[in-house]
Amino acid sequence: MSKTIIALDFSSADQVVEFLKQFDEPVYVKIGMELTYAEGLSIVETVKKMGHHIFLDLKLCDIPNTVKGGMRNLAKLGVDMVNVHCSGGIAMMKAAKEGLIEGAKDGQVPLLIGVTILTSISQEALNNELGIQGEVLDTVVRYAKNAKEAGLDGVVCSVHEAKAIREACGPDFVTVTPGIRLASDNVNDQKRVATPAYAKEQGAHMIVVGRSITGSANPKETYELIEGMMN
Ligand code: C5P
């Protein structure tokens, strides 16, 4: 399966279908809040019918019973990957996994990954707004260990954290890393970016790439170039 997940940050189903038409082979795509809240969960069915793999990035975080029920229903959609916030705690993450197992279509349990600390949270905000002391990396690693203990398959983290997580949680614990740019790209609003080659070097299992592919003159060619760098 592809190691490059294309972030479908479009605002309508029509734009998504138009964009995906150029890929004749299945690709791995990320459907997030913007698209889901604009189109409803029917967007998942639309993309699935085109044969693509789906990471449904809705970042659940609530009390365990509510997350369990939500995951039971998301599992019925037959997506490949879903996520929760690690900050919801170990009991919530365990409940998420139970819900997914209960709702899994044909026994196919989607991969469950945890969002560690959002890459938009600075060191200063972590310490002074959220009241969590110490380095961002220490909290990220602690959250990743919690996710592993709860039975999750991996975490979303920055490329710069992938190596420490691999050392703490082992080589099979999946790291999914956004913030990827080709050396020639515009950085846009991302702060700490890295190239696909560096992501591979740091041991990231999968990368999430949005604008480098969707904004490229030839998205299919750019996707193939990036996927080649990850293999
Ligand atoms: O266009 P770009 O490659 O920056 O898009 C990155 C994608 O990854 C977006 O969908 C963004 O919401 C998501 N993401 C991120 N940083 C995180 C978590 C998710 O950029 N920490």
Residue-wise pLDDT tens digits, 75-112: 999 999 999 999 999 999 999 999 999 999 888 999 99
- Residue 26: strand, helix, or coil: coil
Which residue out of 6, 8, 9 has the highest number of ligand 1 atoms within 8 Å of its CB and is therefore the one to mutate?
9
Contact by Cβ (8 Å): 58, 82: yes
- Ligand 1 nearest-atom number relative to CA 157: 21
Q: What percent of the chain has a predicted confidence (pLDDT) above 70? A: 99
**What pLDDT shows up at residue 183?**
84
Query: Looking at 59, 145, 163, 220, which residue is catalytic?
Result: 59
Residues 6 or more apart whose CB falls under 8 angstroms from that of 103 comprise: 71, 72, 73, 74, 75, 76
Determine whether 59 is an active site residue. Answer: yes
Residue-wise pLDDT tens digits, 119-138: 889 999 999 999 999 999 99
Would you tell me how many other CB atoms lie within 10 Å of the CB of residue 187? 11
